[in-house]
Structure 1
Amino acid sequence: MNSYLLLLLSLLAIPTLAQPAKQTTYCNPIDLDYRYNFEQQNEGISYRSGADPVIIRHKDAYYMFVTIQGGYWRSTDLVNWKYITPSMWPMEDMCAPAAASVGDTLYLFQSTFQQRPILISTAPETGKLQFYNRWLPQLPKDIGPWDPALFHDPDTNKWYMYWGSSNVYPLFGAELDKNRQLTYADRNPANAYKPMFWLDPWVHGWERFGPNHADLVKPFVEGAWMTKHNGKYYLQYGAPGTEYNVYANGTYVGNSPLGPWEYAPYNPIAYHPGGYAVGCGHGNTFQDAYGNYWNTGTSWIGLVWAMERRMVMHPAGFDKTDQLYADTRFGDWPHKLPTRKWDTQNGPIADDTFTGWMLLNYKKPVTASSTLDTLQASFVNDENVRTFWATRNKPGETLTVDLGSEQTIRAVQVNYVDHKNTIFKTDASVYTQFRILGSADGKRWRTLADLTDTTRYGKRDRASAYVELSQPEKARYVRYEHVYTAGPYLAINGFRIFGKGTGNVPGVPAGLTAKRQPDDRNADLSWQPVPGAVGYNIRWGIAPDKLYQTYQFWADDPMGRPGRPFELRALNRGVPYYFAVEAFNENGVSALSPVVSDGFVKK
């Protein structure tokens, strides 16, 4: 036997290291190393937060810019985000930044009521930024530009800026002069801008403030963004305010970048008032490598502090009539990462992207190794982002869920709370590690996922850790075993287990009726309860084949108990609507009920 053959056989005898399975799904809130930052220090409050996301595709990667994070993130797959510390940053951190990619240059601008520069980079992956202009001229007091958006029209090579964050002022817009380094086209600041539109909550039900649009506080318009599609301009905005479940995105449509504007009767374009990660307002719309659109937004927690938030992204697109919409159906459950162009022309996008992995542990029995005060274990699976379990932060603490029978586990999500935290800076000591164990009998356990394996999972902070298992696993009992987080306490507001149950899918809801109230911004919906249903999705839209809006809620929620109609308060006056409902449980989703009209006749 020659030496070459001996070498070949010896190499074949060496056991190969298993390569980590590539993640094929994602789950909202976005799994990111959200930062501790100076905003929280000012109030003596310590918490991770992220809001007002802007994601853009630049060259061959995605860049994410977020309020007060001290830097930004880069990804090549929309799921693995690497934090980048920039070479330079403004004199204060950025709130609600604007970003745009034009040619080989990335442009970046912060919210301000003063004079601030536009920054640029031709190599943002390195963190190297430089000044494009030194100062954008100051506008009159209280005008801004706060919550700005930069827009370059590729067909005319003209530049524009949009901004606004107020319940007094409208959104504003201005043309920028490229020849004078993107300062205002009109040199007189008083004439440089003009109003785009105001909110009209007396006509647009979803623009009303408060939980489920039930507060009379004057709502806020903010978070401008511009998308051009088929020659039309879609000026998007967030409303009615970040602090409630109904934070959403809407759009006006025009034939030119500065209007005039026509309100889209199908608004809001992105709406997620029910579920775990509630709210999806103030973000942006971008395209991925396959040409698919996404809509990003801000999800409210408000638990440790009123402005505690996370970020979400939902599949979006234009249908065959150029209606812009984001699909938020099961919007905080696992969805497939894109591998091709979706069909947005002929129905809801989630038909292409939803994994069908159901939440297996809603209000199932759960026990904890220890508990702090009254912060009990059952709070981790009630799907309420504002309740949580807590204990002292030490390795070996556990949460154990009994699913009732053996189920197929596909993914888990662990969402942490900064309970009485003492951290005011993200550094090397801030990271997250845990193990997920499974068992058929609650006695013999095997590891389903191990986040101490830094080769596979890295070593980073994951406030909303989403872990897709490398293969389906059968288990009745699922356990979270704590290894490490920073801070004095371990607190979790969501231990979420996804997969497939072995029972029956609920039947199709029957007897759906929809009736508009005298205040036609509201509608009452009723149907017959479905045996075995854990929850329902109300789906609606402006045509029977445009049921793009979803309101998800649980069967034991007071809003939808049998004998009491579900009040939907997000409608536009004078617009006829169509409705359907589907039931779900841990085994799957029913077929959609027959579509019904609300009987509204447009006058």
Structure 2
Amino acid sequence: MKKQLFMLLACTSFLWTGCQQEKEIHARIAESPKTFCNPVNLDYRFMVIEGGDGIREAADPVVVPYRDMYLLFASKSSGYWYSKDFVNWDHVIIPDTVLPVEDYAPALFVHNDYVYYVGSTHGKGMLYRSNDPVAGRWEPVREIWSYWDPAFYVEGDNLYMYYGCSPIDPIHARVLDLNTLEEKSEVIDCLNSDKEHHGWERTGEQNELPRRPYIEGAWMTEHNGRYYLQYAGPGTEWKSYADGVYVGDTPMGP
């Protein structure tokens, strides 16, 4: 599951004289904040459940910078949002006939001034693109293997795709050609649960249950030549739901 709102830059100074005297603490909002935390104030709706009660849901959020704004997609949200400051968000409502925005766990990437979208599937899913997402204009590109909980990472001419959401199967990765979308690599297994060594991965409100956890929500970040593959466990039904990360020298590990 994936994160973001205000950064407070605490300008704190203490002056101690004999460990007894203390000055006031002053805080201010940074002029150009670059770190954000929950909650983001979104007008997300109740999802549609045929023959049942609605559930308010905006799960699996993903954000990408696009031109001079941010785009935010979330599951079951009848559309997506855009913002220039990460504080004020406008909702673009999209019918399913234009874009399958009711799909779970969307994935996005940006290439050649287009933003690309695919939802979670159990096999092949249609990849869409838009160069005018504010107006809600999208076009299909081609079907790709997207599977469940997909996530993209772009580097050079490579489009890396990570996916997986299972108590049994690992997080997988494959490489596509960024321009042709043809597969360039075999599928590799990146990581799986290791509850014997990672206590936080154990299921239950207090990580007390013996069954295997769900491992899901892959997300790749590069920083200073190191690659951080984030994932989530042990399952969204537990208060102990959390994120972990594996670090590697390349986007495909090890």
SS in structure 2 of the partner of residue 78 of structure 1: coil
Asked whether the equivalents of residues 228 and 247 of structure 2 are also in contact (C-alpha less than 8 Å), the reply is: yes
* Matched AA of 2:69: A
8 A Cα contact 2:129 2:139, kept in partner = yes
Structure 2 CA distance, aligned partners of 1:102 and 1:179?
9
Cα pair 1:70 1:94 within 8 Å, conserved? no
Q: 1:62 is matched with which residue: 41, 62, 70? A: 70
Unaligned runs of 5+ in 1: 1-23, 138-143, 187-191, 261-603
- SS state of the match for residue 62, structure 1? strand
Q: Is residue 2:187 matched to residue 1:193?
A: yes
Return the letter of the residue paired with 1:185: K
Quick one: distance in 1 between partners of 2:182 and 2:208?
A: 41
Aligned to 1:11: none
Paired residue type of 2:183:
Y
Give, in whole Å, the separation in 2 of the partners of 1:244 and 1:34: 22
Task: Return 5+ residue gaps in structure 2 as ranges.
Answer: 1-30
What RMSD in Å do the two structures reach over aligned CA positions? 2.1
Match of 1:30 among 37, 40, 46: 40
Question: Secondary structure of the residue that 2:55 maps to in structure 1?
Answer: coil
Distance 1:30 1:185, change over 3 A: same
Counterpart residue type for residue 118 of structure 2:
F
Match 1:151 to one of 150, 153, 167: 153
* Structure 1 SS opposite 2:134: helix
Please give the secondary structure, in 1, of the residue aligned with 2:200: helix
Q: 1:163 maps to which residue?
A: 163
The answer as to 2:242 corresponding to 1:248 is yes
What CA deviation, in whole Å up to 9, does each residue of 1:175-202 have, x standing for no partner?
012343x24225xxxxx41211111011
CA distance in 2, matches of 1:197, 1:95: 22
What is the CA distance between 1:27 and its match in structure 2? 7.6
1:577-592 aligned within 5 A: none
1:75 is aligned to 2:69: no
* Distance in 1 between residues matched to 2:137 and 2:78, nearest whole Å: 14
Note closer, same or farther for the CA distance 1:224–1:82 as it changes in structure 2 (3 Å cut). Answer: same
Instruction: Report the counterpart of residue 48 of structure 1 in structure 2.
Output: 56
Quote the sequence identity (%). Answer: 38
In structure 2, the partner of 1:207 is: 201
Question: What is the number of equivalent residue pairs in this alignment?
Answer: 219
- Aligned match of 1:93 in 89, 102, 110? 102
Looking at structure 2, the residues matched to 96 and 170 of structure 1 have their Cα atoms a distance apart, in angstroms, of 17
Q: Give the Å deviation of 1:103.
A: 4.1
Looking at structure 2, the residues matched to 111 and 184 of structure 1 have their Cα atoms a distance apart, in angstroms, of: 18
In the TM superposition, what are the counterparts of 1:386-465 in structure 2 within 5 Å? none
Q: Do the aligned partners of residues 30 and 217 (structure 1) sit closer, same or farther apart at CA in structure 2, a change above 3 Å counting? A: farther
Matches within 5 A, 1:82-121: 82-86=90-94, 88-90=98-100, 93-121=102-130
Distance in 2 between residues matched to 1:251 and 1:202, nearest whole Å: 17
1:124 & 1:245 partners in 2: Cα distance?
35
- Give the whole-Å Cα distance in 1 for the aligned partners of 2:140 and 2:196: 44
Higher helix share: 1
Q: Aligned pair in 2 of structure 1 residues 27, 203: CA closer, same or farther (>3 Å)? A: closer
Q: Is the contact between residue 157 and residue 179 of structure 2 (CA under 8 Å) also seen in structure 1?
A: no
What SS does the aligned partner of 1:165 have? coil
- Which structure has more relative contact order (CA 8 Å, sep 6+)? It is 1
The Cα of 1:149 is off from its aligned counterpart by: 0.3
**2:171 is the alignment partner of 1:174:** no
The Cα of 1:132 is off from its aligned counterpart by: 2.1
Q: Distance in 2 between matches of 1:43 and 1:31?
A: 29
3-state secondary structure, aligned to 2:209:
coil
Q: Which amino acid aligns with 1:240?
A: P
- Output the amino acid matched with 2:103: M
Deviations 1:522-572 (A, max 9, x none): xxxxxxxxxxxxxxxxxxxxxxxxxxxxxxxxxxxxxxxxxxxxxxxxxxx
Alpha-carbon distance in structure 1 between the residues aligned to 2:236 and 2:51: 19
> C-alpha distance in 1, partners of 2:160/2:51?
36
In structure 1, the partner of 2:183 is: 184
Q: Of the candidates 119, 124, 132, which is equivalent to residue 133 of structure 2? A: 124
Give the alignment of 1:449-488 within 5 angstroms. Answer: none
C-alpha contact (below 8 Å) 1:150/1:161 kept by paired residues = yes
1:439-472 deviations in whole A, cap 9, x for unaligned?
xxxxxxxxxxxxxxxxxxxxxxxxxxxxxxxxxx
Measured against aligned partners, the alpha-carbon deviations of 1:138-179 in whole angstroms (never above 9, x if no partner) come to xxxxxx6100001101xx321110000000100000001234
2:157·2:177 contact (CA, 8 Å) conserved in 1? no
Q: Aligned AA for 2:176?
A: L
Aligned to 2:219: 225
Question: Alignment partner of 1:125: what SS?
Answer: helix
Q: Say whether residues 1:216 and 2:216 are aligned partners.
A: no
State the alpha-carbon separation in 2 of the partners of residues 254 and 57 from structure 1: 24
Q: Report the structure number with the largest CA radius of gyration.
A: 1
Query: Partners in 2 of 1:248 and 1:213 — Cα distance?
Result: 11
Flag the 1:28–1:136 CA change in 2: closer, same or farther, 3 A. closer
Find the aligned partners of 2:182 and 2:46 in 1 and give their Cα distance: 33
Contact 2:124 2:147 in 1 (8 A): no
1:69–1:94 Cα contact (<8 Å) kept: no
Normalised by the length of structure 1, the TM-score is: 0.35
Mapping 1:263-302, distance limit 5 Å: none
Give TM-score scaled by structure 2 length: 0.80
Looking at structure 1, the residues matched to 37 and 216 of structure 2 have their Cα atoms a distance apart, in angstroms, of 26
Is the Cα contact below 8 Å between 1:86 and 1:128 reproduced in 2?
A: no
